[in-house]
Chain A
Amino acid sequence: MTAGWVGKILDVDLNTGCINHRDTMVYAEKSIGGRAMAAWIAWEEMPAGIDAYDPGNIIIITTGPLTGTLAPTSGRTIMSSLSPRVYPKPWYTHSTLGGWFGPALKYAGFDAIIVRGKSETPVYLDIQDGKATLVDATTLWGMDAKQTQLALKAKLANQAQILTIGPAGENLVRFATVQHSEDNAAGHSGFGAVWGSKKLKAIAVRGTGGIPIANPNGLLQEVLNQGVFKVTPCNGVLSSQKAQKRRPICSQACTFNCFVGEYAHTVEEKVIPIHCIGGTWASENGMKKTKYTGGSVDVPAGQNFGFCEEATLHEECNNLGLDLWFRLVMQPWLIGCIQRGVREIKGYPIAPTDIFWFDDFMHQLAYRKELGNIFADDLLRAMDELETELPEDLIKLGRELEFCFGFPAHREGRFWDEEPLPFWVISAMMYASESRDPTIGSHQSSLLLADFLLADREITRHQFRLLSDKVWGYPDALEPTFENKAPVAIWSQNQHMLIDSLPLCDFAFPQLVHPMEDQEEWKMTEDISGDLDIDLRLLTAVTGVRKSREELTQAVEQAFTLERMLLARAGRSRNLEEGLAPHFKLPCRADGTLVDETGFSRLLDEYYSARGWDLKLGWPQEDRLNALGLAEVIPELRHLRSKITP
């Protein structure tokens, strides 16, 4: 067994109650770990043509070789399954979460968990030092995420690390989360509902073991060389705030001063950590940023209810097990209803700027009651249900807000973050080729660079030319044009796959840009490029296996291609991806740039070609599969093609 791993995968069948152990290295040796390892397992074991709630759907929880080690930000866990959120029909995707669960799983002797089947009654999985047991969870069913964790900690051990669903998962809300700790969640892909469908309430793990490290001194030295409390490379450089000692972290082994975390006080004066979208709720101006006017679309500003009130709502949302992102699309949409004179839906009054109504609405969602029952299937499906009852522009607005197969718009240059050209083009290519909102895991891979361009175009374009030449081999990779952006998109996706597989946090890695303390330092720096080999050095120190960059790239491209094949298996092809074109016909909120259907089609052509995919379906071509060492998937690909082109 290679260092960095503990050797076993837990295979749990909820139909029979059987629990088996499998050898991690079967998958670890042909992948890197984490998301890449899950793609291999899913390709081999996920049945085709089933629904997310089918007992045959499997939940794959993976760690990577760095999980649980001292490698900075490595305490992450990856969850993969068929997603009930995806529209129009479920397909395989992933969510990642920070925290302390993945490390604890490895200390307990397991690198991954596969859960299959469905239990008749609620159960939780109790894992302790090499042993796993399914336990009746009838008394936990109905508890919120925090209550469940506290109950299990009281019963098992204070140091137990727990994944759990809240009421939203139990009630099959399509954007239900799997929660962990206060504010960590596998949030976007609705896996909480998959757990709920299997009557799996929680997984509790505690272990006293350790993770073998091939070169302890090398790992220590690498971490010491990185330094501590560095500002994460892009995030925060442009902030006027200086480093603060009191910022919460969201992942074990994170030593960064990351600007996406903050502490808040609830109305009951409890201190809670909030990160990323939770911070947006609580920020006075955060919710206002949903406002967008362009083309024929008008997205209203969301409304903030006050700092402590938002902290309280945020905590409730986590405890109910709802994806925090729902607020960013549903509240503006509901405000849009009010602005158009629609004050009730199906007889239920709406008041989205009233905190008491909104609090009640969150509970209705989680328990699928009244109005919540309609929106628990997500905004996009609610639009289908309400199509004949509401004005056309409201239905169109709802569909635009979740334009990407049911995922909230994000870093696509229109509705949320400002991604000027060329970043929204890079983002568009990623949206069109991935299973979910692809931008959440690729902040440092390129998208956060957009903030520099917005801060000072002249300085940035010069810096970008140097950076581009160094990283992508041509100086105009980040020029504000539509051409030749596929290499950056593919590089970003590869990096995303890599950091989801090692794993590392995408707010800290890859260090495309070196950490800079403030805006002044950035302005004085000509060469902003960072150290892109930290990941390799960490991997080598932990595992003792010396891989080249080319070998790692081959492994991540293999895994990405397997994910693409899983999408093909679910019927996803160019035809569906062309359906994203109207969204990018809306003007970019930063610079007004847009692309029409023909232009979008050209972007797909460029991207598919660069990937080695055919232009008709956007599926991998056989020579590309052979080059990637994936000849074994060719027979199924031929079968899939034959069903489309007999």
Chain B
Amino acid sequence: MRGRNHKILVNPQLCRDCQTCVLACSLYHENVCSLSLARLQIIKDMEIYEFNILICRHCDQPECVLACPCNAIQVNKQGVILIMAEDCNQCGLCALNCPYEAIFYCEVSGKYNKCDLCANRLGGPLCVELCPVKAITLNIETASARRD
């Protein structure tokens, strides 16, 4: 677990269903605006007017990594959990075992997708930057904080 320090935090009670995070995600990763091709989802329960944000939290003890029979899910130095598409056999065990339901099967590409914190983007995850109400935030733990 060495070097793990990036965590997504969500507060669904702040969410107001603008879907900006989802649209920005699909635009950045897939060059289209779509709610199905994003690496996160907003789920609304109309009966009680409540929302849920399904996005990978980049857990300390990731169930998806343990569940994957192909070692196709890896954790990088920043603690970001990534799917190595070339190693994935599309068995779906990662998605089944994710406690946050945050790994999504894309019927168009036939691949499993998950949040990669907008890998390689200098400004960090777009969903965090564009959420107008800070319902999604990024917590970067310092090394000293982790030692404590």
Assuming the A-B contacts A181-B46, A210-B36, A220-B126, are A70 and B20 also in contact, with contact meaning beta carbons closer than 8 angstroms in the complex? yes
Mask for A89-104, Cβ within 8 A of B = 1, else 0?
0000000000010010
Assuming the A-B contacts A208-B108, A213-B33, A216-B27, are A252 and B43 also in contact, with contact meaning beta carbons closer than 8 angstroms in the complex? no
Give B134's nearest chain A residue, CB to CB. Answer: A245
Decide if A224 is an interface residue (CB 8 Å cutoff).
Answer: yes
Residues in A with CB closer than 8 Å to B32 are 210-213, 216
Mask for A149-168, Cβ within 8 A of B = 1, else 0?
11001000011000000000
Residues in B with CB closer than 8 Å to A633 are none
- Whether the pair A224, B27 counts as a contact (CB closer than 8 A) is no
Mask for B98-123, Cβ within 8 A of A = 1, else 0?
00000000011000000000000000
Decide if B47 is an interface residue (CB 8 Å cutoff).
Answer: yes
Residues in A with CB closer than 8 Å to B130 are 223-224, 228, 255
Cα A84 to Cα B16 with chains together (Å): 34
Mask for A69-86, Cβ within 8 A of B = 1, else 0?
110000100000000000
Cα A628 to Cα B45 with chains together (Å): 48
- Whether the pair A246, B46 counts as a contact (CB closer than 8 A) is no
Decide if A357 is an interface residue (CB 8 Å cutoff).
Answer: no
- Whether the pair A270, B49 counts as a contact (CB closer than 8 A) is yes
Cα A159 to Cα B37 with chains together (Å): 14
Cα A228 to Cα B19 with chains together (Å): 13
- Whether the pair B46, A149 counts as a contact (CB closer than 8 A) is yes
Segment 116-140 of B: residues with Cβ below 8 Å from A = 126, 129-134
- Whether the pair B18, A249 counts as a contact (CB closer than 8 A) is yes
Assuming the A-B contacts A245-B14, A247-B16, A249-B18, are A255 and B46 also in contact, with contact meaning beta carbons closer than 8 angstroms in the complex? no
- Whether the pair B24, A216 counts as a contact (CB closer than 8 A) is no
Segment 109-159 of A: residues with Cβ below 8 Å from B = 146, 149-150, 153, 158-159
Residues in A with CB closer than 8 Å to B47 are 150
Query: Which secondary structure dominates chain A's binding surface?
Result: loop
Assuming the A-B contacts A213-B32, A245-B134, A247-B16, are A271 and B24 also in contact, with contact meaning beta carbons closer than 8 angstroms in the complex? no
Assuming the A-B contacts A216-B27, A253-B23, A255-B130, are A107 and B35 also in contact, with contact meaning beta carbons closer than 8 angstroms in the complex? yes
Band of interface residues on B: 35 or more
Segment 28-68 of B: residues with Cβ below 8 Å from A = 28, 30-37, 43-49
Residues in B with CB closer than 8 Å to A247 are 16
8 Å CB contact of B19 from A100, A211, A271: A100
Decide if A618 is an interface residue (CB 8 Å cutoff).
Answer: no
Output the least CB separation between A12 and chain B (Å): 24
Residues in A with CB closer than 8 Å to B49 are 182, 270-273
Residues in B with CB closer than 8 Å to A272 are 49
Decide if A9 is an interface residue (CB 8 Å cutoff).
Answer: no
- Whether the pair A153, B19 counts as a contact (CB closer than 8 A) is no
8 Å CB contact of B34 from A107, A229, A252: A107
Decide if A620 is an interface residue (CB 8 Å cutoff).
Answer: no
Residues in B with CB closer than 8 Å to A100 are 17, 19
Cα A247 to Cα B34 with chains together (Å): 24
Output the least CB separation between A83 and chain B (Å): 29
B residues lining the A interface (CB < 8 Å): 14, 16-20, 23-24, 26-28, 30-37, 43-49, 107-108, 126, 129-134
Besides A69-B23, A219-B27, A224-B130, 16 other CB < 8 A contacts? A100-B17, A107-B35, A150-B47, A181-B46, A210-B32, A213-B31, A220-B24, A220-B126, A228-B20, A228-B131, A246-B16, A252-B17, A252-B18, A253-B23, A255-B130, A272-B49
Return the 8 tightest CB-CB contacts between A and B, nearest first.
A210-B34, A210-B32, A208-B36, A228-B132, A229-B132, A70-B23, A255-B132, A69-B33
A to B CB contacts below 8 Å, 22 in the list: A68-B33, A70-B27, A70-B33, A100-B17, A149-B46, A159-B35, A159-B43, A182-B46, A208-B34, A208-B36, A208-B107, A216-B32, A220-B28, A223-B24, A228-B20, A229-B133, A249-B16, A252-B23, A253-B18, A255-B130, A257-B132, A270-B48
